[in-house]
Structure 1
């Protein structure tokens, strides 16, 4: 297993190069299977787990508490057996305030909402501090200064170790950075966005309307931040496109219907054959050694999926193989 460092100063943490997405654990997936997945991830060297305070309220039979509460039960059952470096990231802002509520009912990112959300996540996860805390989505009904201040206050109070931002546009990230710097506040040190080897068209939206895909502006922002000494990590969700690389029954959305998709899949198959790996593993390896480096966030439903993803962290592509992948258009 390879590892990455995220954060700076006292917030600095060493995490596995693959992050385990816990969105379905405890809701769609029963406790026994969820525990087995988490146990295998840690056994294989995984130290980075991702959840949110709303997973998966939109699915029949699920509640927004499911994923965090499952992780809390797992941690309690494994006291003394978990690695000290384990990092559990969670998110706030998109939790409905009424059962099954749409976006206009979400808790948002006001100062009171931030404080209440943190208290709820601490309780469900059974922890005294949230390792990494992201605003899940933007809330433009609230002044950005208020959100930046409220989150920074949680760090000052010891409630949160490190701040990140999920599903934010590049210009909002830069504005938040400027506000934090001007006020001596804590900045976002980790960005979570959608990203994969196959790229969607910019002129067609994704069907998952809350998803924000990393674009050239996001990646340039991260490169410039890192060059300036403000280390910023990228965590990418949906790296395997919900199984579309490996399953014929998983179709890509219209945004991926362009000539570049076929060219990239052909390059992917070429490199996979050369290294004796699966498409998924080549994609994950490509992302880990990306410029800037990307930590793929892999959602799984079986222990075997964990093994495939963790093996990808040890796969290193040659320069020629990366060139084959990068130049496919």
Structure 2
């Protein structure tokens, strides 16, 4: 079954509670099931503290009685430990004490007794990896996390953590969450969002061989595929982008779909779970409409190698 995750960063802040509830209602009524949030969304907005997304989802889950009908994904590790900090300079980290306390706080806000996937949001190289593995493993053993994953981690760190988990007899990371879309940034160019980790060929090879589930964010480049007021970010400025955009638009025209829908369909055809944010009902309808977009072998080949077009 194709799974598309609804990104919920603005819920309870720039998208107020009433609008958030309407979006969530439309999403589940249309068959959507996966919600992705974090214990720090969106701390970087003035007036927000990072509780808002989880709190809004929790109120909605309780009011609708739908906890057993959704896959709930949340994260820890990147919440500022200093109130008012709008950077990651004081990120809480992944010590055993922090991971457990963060989970308990998320469960309270989400008004549930477990999450389906619990993520280490960013790396913490100051805390021994063994301690991190044990902390997530303990939550899995208690049934508070049905699966655990690593977000924005280097591949070698994930593999080392998985090896430690196996050796220690605890639940290993089974899911990865990284930045990925159809367009690819110029190799070696730092992303403006310093904490983001970009999917590369090594990651794709690793998840395929190891059988991990890959979730991807910034899937639609903040609207840049379709909105004139959202230009393609400069780190995607290279000849490959021009070729890929041309093929993307050709395929979208052939299928009577939007470029956004083709991007989502291309990712899900690879078994990837794309995380797509929505702030309007029309955006929910567009992202779920991607489930009906079927790429044939020729279209997939052209998308993956625009030189064939």
TM-score (norm 1): 0.91
Partner SS, residue 164 of structure 2: helix
Alpha-carbon deviation of 1:61? Answer: 2.5
Give the structure 1 partner of residue 180 of structure 2. Answer: 195
* Aligned with residue 95 of structure 1, among 68, 79, 83: 79
For the Cα contact (< 8 Å) 1:298–1:309, is it kept in 2?
yes
- Does residue 322 (structure 1) correspond to residue 300 (structure 2)? The answer is yes
- Does residue 289 (structure 1) correspond to residue 275 (structure 2)? The answer is no
Q: Distance in 2 between matches of 1:65 and 1:300?
A: 19
Alpha-carbon deviation of 1:252? Answer: 2.5
* Aligned with residue 199 of structure 2, among 191, 198, 214: 214
Q: Distance in 2 between matches of 1:152 and 1:28?
A: 35
Give the structure 1 partner of residue 148 of structure 2. Answer: 163
Give the structure 2 partner of residue 248 of structure 1. Answer: 228
Report how many residues are paired: 306
CA RMSD of aligned residues (A): 1.1
How do 1:128-277 residues align onto structure 2 when only pairs under 5 Å count? 128-226=113-211, 232-277=212-257
Alpha-carbon deviation of 1:83? Answer: 6.7
Alpha-carbon deviation of 1:250? Answer: 1.1
Q: Distance in 2 between matches of 1:188 and 1:32?
A: 35
Q: Distance in 2 between matches of 1:183 and 1:215?
A: 29
Alpha-carbon deviation of 1:220? Answer: 0.9
For the Cα contact (< 8 Å) 2:225–2:232, is it kept in 1?
no
TM-score (norm 2): 0.97
For the Cα contact (< 8 Å) 1:47–1:83, is it kept in 2?
no
Partner SS, residue 68 of structure 2: coil
Alpha-carbon deviation of 1:202? Answer: 2.0
Alpha-carbon deviation of 1:253? Answer: 2.5
For the Cα contact (< 8 Å) 1:27–1:63, is it kept in 2?
no
Q: Distance in 2 between matches of 1:243 and 1:63?
A: 26
Alpha-carbon deviation of 1:313? Answer: 1.3
How do 1:16-95 residues align onto structure 2 when only pairs under 5 Å count? 17-79=3-65, 82=66, 84-95=68-79
Partner SS, residue 21 of structure 2: helix
Deviation per CA, 1:20-39: give whole Å up to 9, x if none: 01111111110111000000
Deviation per CA, 1:102-132: give whole Å up to 9, x if none: 3231110001111110111011000111221
For the Cα contact (< 8 Å) 2:100–2:135, is it kept in 1?
yes
Partner SS, residue 117 of structure 2: strand
Give the structure 2 partner of residue 302 of structure 1. Answer: 280
For the Cα contact (< 8 Å) 1:206–1:253, is it kept in 2?
no
Partner SS, residue 292 of structure 2: coil
Q: Distance in 2 between matches of 1:324 and 1:219?
A: 19
Q: Distance in 2 between matches of 1:138 and 1:215?
A: 18
Partner SS, residue 11 of structure 2: coil
Q: Distance in 2 between matches of 1:191 and 1:300?
A: 22
